[in-house]
Amino acid sequence: MLKSRPEPTPVELEAALNFLITGTLGVADRTTVAHHENHIKVEIHNPRIENKATWHHQCLGGPLASIAASVAAEAWGRPVIIKREEHQRGKCYIELEVTG
């Protein structure tokens, strides 16, 4: 759904996620990204996708975390693990780890 592959930088990842999550899908207000070494922290503001504590959600992650991990893996050209996903006070916090 992206026009081109994002570069492996926080700015490019944030732009790609904002394009997808806020623009194309319309399921949140905005996304911010921070990166340090092989860890990526994503904050999704005012998500409009329900967070359910089901078995498959705990094992596979939610749709927002899956989108963030997929785009990060594409940008970095390496596998990405969803380390943490948490929903609090109108935000979805996602921590990713770039492996390989």
pLDDT band at 33 (very low <50, low <70, confident <90, very high): very high
Q: Give pLDDT, residue 2.
A: 85
- The pTM score is 0.90
Phi and psi for 65 in degrees, rounded to 5?
-65, -35
Q: Give pLDDT, residue 29.
A: 96
Q: Give pLDDT, residue 51.
A: 64
Write down all domains in the chain, each with its CATH number in brackets: 10-98 (3.30.980)
Mean pLDDT of 58-85: 91
pLDDT band at 52 (very low <50, low <70, confident <90, very high): low
Q: Are 20 and 72 in contact (CB under 8 A)?
A: no
Strand partners, 45: 30, 91
